[in-house]
Amino acid sequence: MAKSNVNVTAAQGFEQAATAYEQARPSYPTEAIDLIKSLYNKPNRIIDLGAGTGKLTRLLGPINAQEIIAIEPVSKMRENLKNIPLITKIIDGAADQIPFEDSTIDMILCGQSFHWFANHNVLTELNRVLKSSGLLVLLWNIPDNRDNEWAEKISKYIDSFQSNETPRYKTMEWKNVFGNQNLFSSLVYKQFPCKHRVTRYLLIDRILSTSFIAILPSDEKLKLIAEVQNMLENVEAIRDREEFDINYLTDVYWCSPLKSSS
């Protein structure tokens, strides 16, 4: 797969941050997996598209699919996928050229990835490979800082480093591709709360696993780490705790392909 089809920030950032991503990113709550299972009874073939290090992929056993295919364009991320026994095939590929015949996939899942490739060409490709009875499922974990002033302060500080050109879920610009199109049904949405237990070191790694942080020059990253550590030292609620919980919300969207009857 030509790497020119992959966002440069994602390709470079996640190549550098694969280890931090695997160690520090949150998993997905059981309720989200149960929902996915309820939406499709025993799919034959499913794809985790933009599988990363397999944070979502390794949870898909209860779906009872005969084939679980992980597609991921970043080599360092794919290395982690080799450690997940339930994956039947790992593919170096991108969302705009999925190497399967028309109408052969029961379900495509995108965990923390769809915003990177949300365009009409990709939507057309997803429609092509999905069966008429198929399902597209999009998931994101997002920090829930509504009752956590210090976490929100850190999040805003990290956000100050991002470029306006970096695709992000929370802008909701990815949703625009679903407007004025006849490839998929309307999105259905459900949200689940979850908690992620971290140490200060894991929280720093979580920050470093962010694509636009990972590509910063080393001296800028060191300054960022020092600033975040300083912020954490001033948080009374976690001062004497080695571990603490970060609140997340898991957003799940799903829709079905609209296939021509001809």
3-state secondary structure of 67: strand
Type of residue at 23: Q
- Which segments of 99-199 does DSSP mark as H helices, in order? 120-129, 149-159
The total number of structural domains in the chain stands at: 1
Range of the domain at 187: 8-145+167-197+248-255
Rounded Cα gap, residues 258 and 32, in angstroms: 24
In a domain, 118, yes or no: yes
Does 129 reside within a domain? Answer: yes
pTM, two decimals, is 0.95
**222 domain residue, yes or no:** no
Provide the β-strand partners of residue 249. Answer: 142, 193
Within its chain, how far is the Cα of 255 from the centroid?
Answer: 17
CATH number of the domain where residue 100 is located:
3.40.50.150
Average pLDDT per 10 consecutive residues for the chain, totaling 262 residues:
67 91 96 97 96 98 97 96 97 96 98 97 98 97 94 96 92 96 97 96 96 95 96 92 96 95 56
The token duo for 105 is 């996939």
Residue 75 domain flag: yes
Could you tell me the two tokens for 210?
């962010």
pLDDT of residue 218: 95
pLDDT the model gives residue 92? 96
Amino acid at 172: M
Assess if residue 213 is contained within a domain. no
Asked if the structure places residue 233 within a domain, the reply is: no
In angstroms, the CA 7 to CA 106 distance is 27
Q: Which pLDDT score is estimated for 4?
A: 43
Query: For residue 32, is it within any domain?
Result: yes
> Which pLDDT does position 230 carry in this prediction?
95
CA of 234: how far to CAs of 143, 153, 201, 240, in Å? 20, 12, 16, 11
**pLDDT attached to residue 164:** 86
Query: What pLDDT, on a 0 to 100 scale, did the predictor assign at position 139?
Result: 98
Euclidean distance between CA atoms 218 and 34, whole angstroms: 41
The pLDDT value recorded for residue 260 is 78
Residues 50 and 114: their CA atoms lie apart, in Å, by 8
Examine residue 220 and state whether it is found in any structural domain, yes or no.
Answer: no
Tokens, residue 198: 């971290």
Place of tokens 């829709």: 255
Given this model, what pLDDT does residue 1 score? 37
Q: What is the pLDDT of residue 7?
A: 86
